[in-house]
Amino acid sequence: MTPRQADVIVIGAGVSGLTTAVCLADAGYSVRVRATRLPPETTSCSAGALWGPYLVADERVLSWCQETRRVMEGLAGEETGIRITAGIEAAKTTVDPPAWAHLLDGFAICGPDELPDGYVTGWRYTAPVVDMPAYLDYLTRRLLETGRGTVEVGQVESLAEAAAWSGIAVNCTGYGARHLVPDPEVTPVRGQLLVVDNPGIERFFAEAEVEIEGADPTELTYIFPQGDHVVLGGTAVTGRHDVTDDPTAAAGILRRCAAVEPALAGARIRAGRAGIRPSRPRVRVERVEVERAYLIHNYGHGGSGVTLSWGCAAEVLRLVREIATEPGPVPNAAPGPDGGAVVTRPNR
């Protein structure tokens, strides 16, 4: 397979794009991933990440989430960056746990003595915690090892043009879909986190998604242990799309997390990360026909790109198979672009 020959082109190399590409390649399709940024430079690499729906609304979400959890539990291990971790989700007001939490192993309501100071409601469960740099590296390796995938850096100026290159294109561009589709319903929600040395924390902590009068809705508190380091968060600033370091936000993250786990107060900071969550009123996973080719959208995952990744990828695979079995051939693919440096290739 050359860089310009593939059954499907996937646009975007974040967790949605790579997972979709792996799902298609495992099913026997040749796949070409094209993106403006490599996986370590994507928003996905700046995610926490704890499995669980966040900033997303769609009646299909629960089934997609459950499919992703099933796959991730099977993948858990040092090689993938996925750890099945016990922890607590808590709120500073009296609230009921979300329906999906009851489905998780180890679910139980916390007693008052199990909660950090200032929290009045909480529940514990076990779920995947994902070291995103390691996980994206795993997905890239897995795609290349199939012998049916490539990942390349390059611009996509038109979705219709991209679909014509292979006959089928999958749009996994996240916030980029706002301009590329274009889709004004996609709005930016900026997130920021810190990576610090792990002082011995083994359980995760996550503040529940609850509206509290007088609280700052842009501030999140979460602690995700990942071996020798811990990811601390976070923020959720709607309408802000820059990813420059914000020292004030970083100081607030460290202060809130140290209030939950005092051992974090003196932890050495390794790095800071920021990314843009692609918020949308409804996740968009659907097929459309464009200029005698097919385009499948897979974007608008809000803060749940990791949590929805395998479920949405399975839906994309179903749509690709649906196209392949319909009467008449898939439209002939046009020649690919001349530009674009192939930066990772499978060994043939």
The residue with tokens 């995103």 is 132
- The radius of gyration of the chain from alpha carbons, rounded to an integer in Å, stands at 20
Q: Low-confidence residues of the chain, pLDDT below 50? A: 1-4, 332-348
Structure tokens given for 177: 């879909």
| Fold category of 85-126+187-279 in CATH | D-Amino Acid Oxidase; Chain A, domain 2 (3.30.9)
β-bridge partners, 232: 194, 223
**Helix (H, G, I), strand (E, B), or coil: what is residue 128?**
strand
Q: Specify the pTM.
A: 0.92
CA 153/CA 343 separation, integer angstroms:
7
pLDDT digits (tens, 9 = 90+) for 126-142: 999 999 999 999 999 99
Q: Is the dihedral of CA 321, 323, 329, 331 positive or negative?
A: negative
Listed by start position, the domains of the chain span: 1-81+131-184+280-348, 85-126+187-279
Which H or E run includes 178?
A: helix 177-180
Tell which CATH classification among 3.40.50.880, 3.30.420.40, 3.10.450.40, 3.40.50.720 matches the domain 1-81+131-184+280-348: 3.40.50.720
- Rounded to whole angstroms, the Cα distance separating 139 from 14 reads 10
Query: Which of 35, 40, 104 lies closest to 69 in space, CA to CA?
Result: 104
pLDDT value for 328:
60
**pLDDT tens sequence across 45-60:** 999 999 999 988 788 9
